[in-house]
Structure 1
Amino acid sequence: HTPAMLPEIVARLVQPSPDGVVVDATYGRGGHTRGMIAALSARGVCHAFDMDAEAVTDGKALAAEERRFTIHHAPFSRMAATLPHLAETPSGGGGGVAAILFDLGISSPQFDEAHRGFRPEADGPLDLRFDQSRGQTAHEFLSTAPRAEITRVLRSFGETAVSETLARSFRDAPETLPRRSRCVLAAPPPPRQPHFAAAPRQALRVHLNDEFGECSRGLEAARSLLSPGGRIGVIT
């Protein structure tokens, strides 16, 4: 997998401050991280964050061979709490981080691994969590949430016109949910609705991982870490 926009990221985020501290807020499998580290000087430092245990395992292997790098098993919303020595003090003056990168959404390994549930055609559990150690799976949510709540999630985050119909299909026959949920979420789209299959799966993923809330908190945490003239890059 080739990291998206790596030359631009290096040029705009790392090269202006090669001796500084940079943060990859979404490690994944380290494609961007490795490129950022390569552009740092011997005095530069890179920190990375990820909620995914498999990503952190990969990051620890990189950290074992690269002294300038540290991986943190935490959501990026906690980067300021994890790096308090780099955060802005109450007296102001800015933080100690030169650049921070966010690459939002699903990583390629997460999408490819059937047991994560992100790939519509994959025959795996309906999970959809970035951090599999906590929170409800998609199957648990669909099995227990009131129909009105499922409808709200599908409508708010998936923009699907058939959210109420889908919610009813999940809740009216819970004993068939494991089969029907995969069937419905991966079904061929109705006419003139090419994104039908993707929309409800996306809605569930956004809700279960609190993606909008996490982004808001993450950007605020990043702001508190940036040094004067520091830069934030966001890939969506």
Structure 2
Amino acid sequence: MLLDVRDLHVRYGRVHAVRGITLTLGAGQVVAVVGANGAGKSSLLRAILGIEKTSGGSVGYDGTDITRWSASERVKNGLVLVPEGRRIVMTLTVHENLLMGAFNRRLDAAVHSEIDGIYDRFPNLAARRDRLASVLSGGEQQMLAIGRALLAAPRVMMLDEPSLGLSPILSAEVFEHIASLGRDRNIAVLLVEQNTQRALELADHAYVIELGRVVSQGPAEQLLSDHKLIDAYLGHGEAKAGHSEQQRPVR
């Protein structure tokens, strides 16, 4: 197993945001983490990356316990997060934003070849490579965030709400790119997504969390057909798509 999270806990003072979550992720697999606003999904991703302090449990990566590793060590070894809100640097050009993704690497011919590959994958970025990132649409910003993450040479890519604020057409395009990460590049994907329907359609396996706990898990196709589960814990995914967990203190 490439990623092996065991009994993970995250606390913010008296708030117990992540309560003993265990999950696994294999190479080339897409795993979705779904749940209502405030369930602790973003906190889980941040803890796995090491930018949120854990209060218990462990994170295993490719057979090694990395619980005590810094976030920079995790990124350097191929564990990468595309954060909610994209976090693009608007005062830099598209090309400069991509180069930021390779900050841990030598800027050699291989990196420049990968950048060319990203421009082939995202033609809109290629057309704006020398423009400031502030001119990009929301969908283009998300593509730039994914491209930047790819330049960190990920083995595991975590994505937090990639469809947030996007139109259905742009969301579908972003989801297709996410699907291709596992299918074409053998990158393991851990996806947090408020659009429950689309996330479960895309994923191989899924975890449903509520108030920081896993309340159900299994093959995504099986969970998608469990209407009682959807009604009890998730509501109607399409209706909730586009609402940010930033509305709640626990993310």
The TM-score bracket by the shorter chain reads: 0.3 to 0.5
What TM-score do the two structures reach when normalised by structure 2? 0.32
Larger relative CO (CA 8 A, sep 6+): 1 or 2? Answer: 2
Higher radius of gyration, 1 or 2: 1
What TM-score do the two structures reach when normalised by structure 1? 0.34
Higher strand share: 2
